[in-house]
Structure 1
């Protein structure tokens, strides 16, 4: 007997890959060994995919097990014993390049390659063997492809995923159904979870990237948590998000990364879960929410060097004055805006120097109010780029006794760092360490 299965708490990539795999193994039974996410369950409640319940399967009769979107025996529930049985042929279609104990009985038909979705690997097999799909099958398979690639926006997306999408659209995939299924508005429980994440979150600057770590005790939104995490990353504009949610008997860890260099799959595997660099999850038992959160932070800050860049700290937009502005007018503007320093720009809006309140007052004392600020501006001030480290800027401000650092990009001033910014950032760091 042939059985096709995916990981527990199946997402659409797992479900779609199962549907595609059955085109390769038409006599196989589709089995969800550990249930599916709420969106998957809702879809299956409306659409009959001829699934077979695990309880109706005699595991001892399985001669070939086709695993899609996973190769981890610990993520397939009771089928683990079958996967590790040398007498059972195991065929794997997976885009996660993670270690696995399935090796002795793995079939030569297996395909494990790094693409945006496991669905893509199955579509390539269908195209290679000239196996047609119906419009409904194409739609189901597209659900997995679009979900796993973020509608082709995730950085893990490859050209092969686009080619798979083209094939599915040509086969009649209903993209309206794909959109309606994947992009639903947040319900009240999901909104409550999102708000709780926002209330209990902190940003860590790691190797020039912003990583948000958040926790929540709102467990009413179990099936939609992954979608909420994705929304959280978009809302906060960070490079990666790792959250921990306290549930009845476990802590759910979910990671989403918009930069593959911040590998949330590694974080999940440290907790016994799985996934890949940009999307991963784990279920942790026997640990408190605080313990899990502390371990997440420890793992992140151990593997990725904590850094803070000028662009993370600087104040913007910046008020500047033209080089031809008179000393009198500059002083009036300083008083009106409550500023002590003005950057000076030329007719092309390029940075040329700084003028301080002290310089203005000295010029006015000597009755030089009609003089242009270009004649009294400072041109040797320390400057920084948006990607200059905060530590370097802090050192320069202290050593030079400089209260105002212009942040320059392409000869234009894009932000400033003042002593107030410096103290606020240092204060936040002290509070974070104290917590």
Structure 2
């Protein structure tokens, strides 16, 4: 018997990958997990007659020769399928893996690993289908497209590549319906999820850790509730932190669930949660600990983050050191000539102690020129209210300022003196570099 499996607790990307793998390996049986991500349940319910998924119990007494694994490369995440068999994944004759979690180590011996740094695992499967010139049904294209949208955050996650966009385009050409995809992606439909959302929101703690804006929350619930992941995603949308960690103590079962989400490559959720036996993506992951942690675990976890996180890029890292300035007592004529020489449209103004007192621009100078007052001192026409950064200002602070203010250059100040300047282009260059 030959089978196709995905990771336990199947999500949309996993289900979509399994469906497409069925086209590449038409004689293989697709085995589903007992556990399903709440959002993915919509797919299973809507396409119940379309999907020919089997439960692991049909493997009992079967001799498994070949296995195709999608959306994971770790044996721990597929072990549930072999509970019904008399041997482990390592005993199978051939294992082929299609997976995009490049940060994870492959612990399945002799496996043939087909991997790419790509936003959605479905996109890897689509490339294989295109290579083999295989077409698919509109229903299966819709299921797969939902997986691409889910794992790329509708093409907004930093892990998104041009291959993901190409995959989406191909799936639409196969008849995928965007209207259905939109409905499949809607989280938090249950009243219990909304109650859980408010419970988590009321217990949010904000921490600035090594320049990162981190949200944490600890809640305790009597038993496991479906849809916790969707609650975490909603809080990420509402609060927009760099990362969010929800720690859920589950009394029944005496266990703790840690769910993490990140918006920064430098906060690698998969690596952080490996310490607790978890994993996932760079931007999303979870861990289940067979111990009921109390509220005090939050302090331990914050300490762990302080020891593990890479410090955030600051204004001190982005700024240009050599800053052109002009004295407040210089004339507008001097300032005009100076700005022309340095080919700038403005610059910081300092006093005799080299302390920042304002900013002068060509627009300010033009006001003096129109009044024939070019011999007036710069301090008479400069802008005195100046937006500034400190050396430790985070990228988040910089982003907020450039997004909300119509300013192209912002001085970096230490002890009232200008030590650098950050431009809008410096910020954009950093964002582009961070995506590589």
* 3-state DSSP of counterpart to 2:171: helix
Cα distance in 2 between the residues matched to 1:153 and 1:307: 21
2:14 corresponds in structure 1 to 14
Whether 2:392 is the aligned partner of 1:386: answer no
Q: Which residue of 2 aligns with 1:70?
A: 72
User: By how many angstroms is 1:240 displaced?
Assistant: 1.3
- Measured after TM superposition, the shift of residue 348 of structure 1 is 7.8
Shift of 1:201: 2.0
User: Match for residue 279 of structure 1?
Assistant: 284
Q: Distance in 2 between matches of 1:264 and 1:38?
A: 21
Q: Residue 291 of structure 1: CA displacement?
A: 5.8
Mean CA deviation greater in 71-80 or 258-267: 71-80
Look up the SS of the partner of 2:303 in the other structure. Answer: helix
| 8 Å Cα contact 1:31-1:52 kept in structure 2 | yes
> In the TM superposition, what is the alpha-carbon distance from 1:135 to its structure 2 partner?
0.6
Paired residue for 1:355? Answer: none
Aligned residue among 102, 107, 124 for 1:101:
107
Whether contact under 8 Å (1:205, 1:308) holds in the other structure is no
- Match for residue 137 of structure 1 among 129, 140, 159: 140
| Residue segments in structure 2 that go unaligned for 5+ positions in a row | 317-327, 329-356, 365-376, 395-404, 417-436
Does the 8 A contact of 1:192 with 1:218 survive in 2? no
Q: Tell me, in whole angstroms, the C-alpha distance in 2 between the residues paired with 1:222 and 1:54.
A: 23
Q: Contact 1:119 / 1:145 at 8 angstroms: preserved in 2?
A: yes
| Residues 186 and 221 (structure 1), Cα distance of their counterparts in 2 relative to 1, 3 Å cut | farther
User: Which residue of the other structure, out of 146, 149, 152, is the alignment partner of 1:146?
Assistant: 149
Segment drifting more, 159-168 vs 177-186: 177-186
CA displacement at 1:220 relative to structure 2: 7.5
Query: What is the SS of the residue equivalent to 1:243?
Result: strand
Residue-by-residue CA offset, 1:268-311 (whole Å, 9 max, x unaligned):
22211121111111111124143653443233111225679799
Within 5 A, what are the aligned runs for 1:341-360? none
Residues 190, 221 of structure 1: 8 Å contact kept: no
Pairwise CA distance, 1:47 = 1.5
- The Cα shift of 1:187 comes to 3.4
CA RMSD between the two structures = 3.7
**Shift in Å at residue 213 of structure 1?**
1.6
8 Å contact from structure 1 (residues 385, 408) kept in 2: no
Matched-pair contact (CA < 8 Å) for 2:188–2:227: no
Instruction: State the alpha-carbon separation in 1 of the partners of residues 56 and 41 from structure 2.
Output: 15
* Match status 1:235 vs 2:238: yes
Asked if the contact 2:315–2:412 (Cα under 8 Å) also holds between the matched residues in 1, the reply is: no
Asked whether the 8 Å contact 2:82–2:88 carries over to 1, the reply is yes
Match of 1:161 among 159, 164, 167: 164
Q: Name the counterpart of 1:426.
A: none
Task: Summarize the Cα distance change of 1:385–1:219 in structure 2 as closer, same or farther, 3 Å threshold.
Answer: farther
**Separation of aligned partners in 2, 1:167 and 1:77:** 33
Of the candidates 175, 182, 192, which is equivalent to residue 195 of structure 2? 192
- Seen in structure 2, the aligned counterparts of structure 1 residues 345 and 203 have a Cα distance that, compared at 3 Å, is same
**Under a length normalisation based on structure 1, what TM-score does the superposition of the two structures give?**
0.70
2:265 pairs with 1:251: no
Aligned to 1:45: 45
Q: Distance in 2 between matches of 1:157 and 1:307?
A: 22
Aligned equivalent of 1:122: 125
Provide the residue aligned with 2:58 in structure 1. 56
What is the Cα deviation at residue 408 of structure 1? Answer: 12
2:363 & 2:196 partners in 1: Cα distance? 45
Q: Retained in 2: the 8 A contact 1:73–1:80?
A: no
**Superposition pairs of residues 262-341 of structure 1, within 5 angstroms:** 262-290=267-295, 292-304=297-309
1:175 corresponds in structure 2 to: 178
Task: State the 1:52 CA deviation.
Answer: 0.7
- In structure 2, the residue matched to 1:208 is 211
Tell me what 2:29 maps to.
29
Q: Distance in 2 between matches of 1:284 and 1:170?
A: 44
Q: TM-score, normalised by structure 2?
A: 0.70
